[in-house]
Structure 1
């Protein structure tokens, strides 16, 4: 495995590091996308209220925007967790490989 990502030449075993890396690569962009969408929607809801739109319109838009914003933050937070777990699992696997290699040299 390389520091930039899992080794694609390795057997198809789904190691912990590979699983966390894959989850990180999916969740991080989704989290950023949902956070941006939610933040933009909050601004749009504010404009609706300022322009005198009916209350139900800006309340519904604002609620949906806050749901998207909070979901994005949760997804991105989960992505950060998976990246940290990937780094930790990657270090553990490297230490195990080093120990096995050092033992084989003796």
Structure 2
């Protein structure tokens, strides 16, 4: 894969992952607030599940960005 393509993938995954991670934490905060206010179980449980899904997706994208960055910084040897 060429270096420019790796850089593009790295940038998209890094920025997207960080945005989703932060958004997932915000959703988690919303779930906590709803639970604290004694909302119905399904109300705060759905918010918490969505938060977990978004947060883990963000972490996965950040991990993939790290892999692209390592590939970008260490091109394979061509003998």
**TM-score of the two chains, using structure 2 as the length reference:** 0.91
Q: Which runs of 5+ in 2 are unaligned?
A: none
Distance 2:39 2:54 in 1: 21
Q: For structure 1, which runs of at least 5 residues remain unmatched after alignment? A: 1-14, 97-106
For 1:25-104, list aligned pairs within 5 A: 25-89=11-75
1:17: how far off? Answer: 1.8
1:20 aligns with 2:13: no
CA distance in 2, matches of 1:52, 1:31: 32
CA drift at 1:35: 0.1
Runs of 4+ residues over 3 Å off in structure 1 = none
| Equivalences, count | 79
Question: Normalising to structure 1: TM-score of the pair?
Answer: 0.69
Deviation of the 1:92 alpha carbon? 5.2
Larger-gyration structure (1/2): 1
